[in-house]
Structure 1
Amino acid sequence: MRIEDIWIDEAVTALRPDFEVLLMTVRGLANSPSDDRSRAWLAEAAAGAVSPDHEKVEAWRAAYRAFGAKPQRTRPSVDALLRRMPLPEINAVVDAYNAVSVKHVLPIGGEDLAHYSGPARLVRATGEEPFDTVDRGEPVTEHPEIGEVVWRDDTGVTCRRWNWRQCVRTRITESTTDALFILERLAPLERDELTAAASELAEMLREISPGIQVESRLVTAR
């Protein structure tokens, strides 16, 4: 997937004209289990974490309500992270972007490019798209609600409710070598804060994998 092929549907930006996303592809990762370095990143982020009632988090709750979701039941990703202290240890790469998400108070998603089919796009769902997940330890296929904001590719939904829950297929694992990171902005978070978060994440990933190739792009409406 080429970063220049990723797009946002106008039906999404009509809900929140202030929405922007900074995309970053990273190739050549050498991921690993959580270690002392990634645990330190998580601990530092947790120590400086804002309240879940922060205005930047409330902006995402308002965005969820705009397409009919109930943010108290299905929380925006940054809201959910701020309520999980200490922050969970997943693997070095996921720990890095979760730490940056909490520090800068913005949702960040990480996707394994090897499992993508066609370009990523942010759209409002028809309700027919498949979403592969796990329920009580068993793999299941769900479908989004009609009008729900979702990230998807040619195969199906990769993340439901904007940034609530990622599918199993594209999760970043310890075997991931090429990844897409999705950093999302709503006011009052400023664009320079968005780019600063991306730069910080890129530097952390270079600590994990010094030889990575990084490409980034800011995307708004088509």
Structure 2
Amino acid sequence: MTSLESFLAGAAVDDAVYELRPDYRALLVAVDGIEPGSGDAAGEALLRDAENAAAGLVSQAAVEELPHIAAWREAYRAFGTKPQRTRNSLEALTRRAATGLPRVNGLTDVYNAVSVRHQVPVGGEDLARYAGSPRLVRASGDETFDTTADGETVIEHPEAGEVVWCDDDGVTCRRWNWRQGRRTQLTPETTSALFIFDALAPMTDEALMAAADDLLTHVRRLGPDVRSVSRLFTRPTA
């Protein structure tokens, strides 16, 4: 197996997560061959399209009532997090679209735009900075998470029972899809990346795959030798 296949072969979603939400699915997309670079005109157009799409959605319903956002608010409540204080990444971006989505770097701009356009939480990580493969678990509370506070690097610990993505060195994303750590964040120098799509009902598998296909369409323009490998996680059947 090549490195991308090996990386995804070691990924896992713990049974305790499926016990919390049996309808949960994770689509992991590993990509390499990306040429380093910052945002460009195509990325800017994609962000503007996402901003317009969000405006159309919120003209018909409150953000918290949009179907997939509402589902994620319920998922957050299930492990003891107040969604009005800790917003999942999809809700945070959809709300922010009204005043303009952030412009960060080429890869981050693409996945943020795809997240809003397809109404699915998407995370992006620098695959080369991983220690081992990604795992989605319910935290013990002892794990480490590197973030910033008042401009300074700090180490936090997730709450016991919190749903977190992690690798061998610690937590890479807290509260399922709330906040990503600094260690594995995408930068303009990133050449290999992991994208994580988090789905709950009522989002269908077909809609989930369409979101990933859209992302890959835009990522492939970031290098002539871009290639990808995907893996879908669903609740194991008895």
TM-score range, shorter chain: over 0.9
Matched AA of 2:128: A
Alignment of 1:101 with 2:149, yes or no, is no
CA distance in 2, matches of 1:208, 1:83: 28
Give the secondary-structure state (helix, strand or coil) at the position aligned to 1:117: coil
Matched AA of 1:59: A
After TM superposition, what 4+ stretches of structure 1 lie above 4 angstroms from structure 2?
none
CA distance in 2, matches of 1:211, 1:195: 22
Deviation at 1:31, TM superposition (A): 3.4
Residue of structure 1 aligned with 2:147, choices 119, 133, 138: 133
What's the counterpart of residue 138 of structure 2?
124
* Residues 71-94 of structure 1, C-alpha deviations (whole Å, 9 max, x = no match): 111100000001112111011111
Residue of structure 1 aligned with 2:70, choices 54, 58, 61: 58
Residue of structure 2 aligned with 1:77, choices 82, 85, 89: 89
Deviation at 1:221, TM superposition (A): 3.5
* Residues 13-65 of structure 1, C-alpha deviations (whole Å, 9 max, x = no match): 11110000111100111132222211110000110112322011000000000
CA distance in 1, matches of 2:39, 2:52: 18
Residue of structure 2 aligned with 1:166, choices 180, 185, 188: 180
TM-score (norm 1): 0.97
Residue of structure 1 aligned with 2:210, choices 196, 209, 217: 196
CA distance in 2, matches of 1:109, 1:210: 23
Alignment of 1:44 with 2:49, yes or no, is yes
Contact 1:31 1:91 in 2 (8 A): no
Deviation at 1:218, TM superposition (A): 0.6
Matched AA of 2:46: W
Q: Which moved more, 1:47-56 or 1:95-104?
A: 47-56
Residue of structure 2 aligned with 1:31, choices 28, 32, 36: 36
Sequence identity, in percent? 51
Residue of structure 2 aligned with 1:177, choices 191, 202, 206: 191
Matched AA of 1:48: A
CA distance in 1, matches of 2:79, 2:124: 23
What's the counterpart of residue 22 of structure 1?
27
Matched AA of 2:84: Q
CA distance in 2, matches of 1:32, 1:220: 34
| Stretches of structure 2 lacking an aligned partner (at least 5 in a row) | 1-5
Structure showing the higher helix proportion among its residues: 2
Number of aligned pairs? Answer: 222
Give the secondary-structure state (helix, strand or coil) at the position aligned to 2:20: coil
Matched AA of 1:127: G
CA distance in 2, matches of 1:18, 1:147: 19
CA distance in 1, matches of 2:46, 2:182: 25
Contact 1:94 1:110 in 2 (8 A): yes
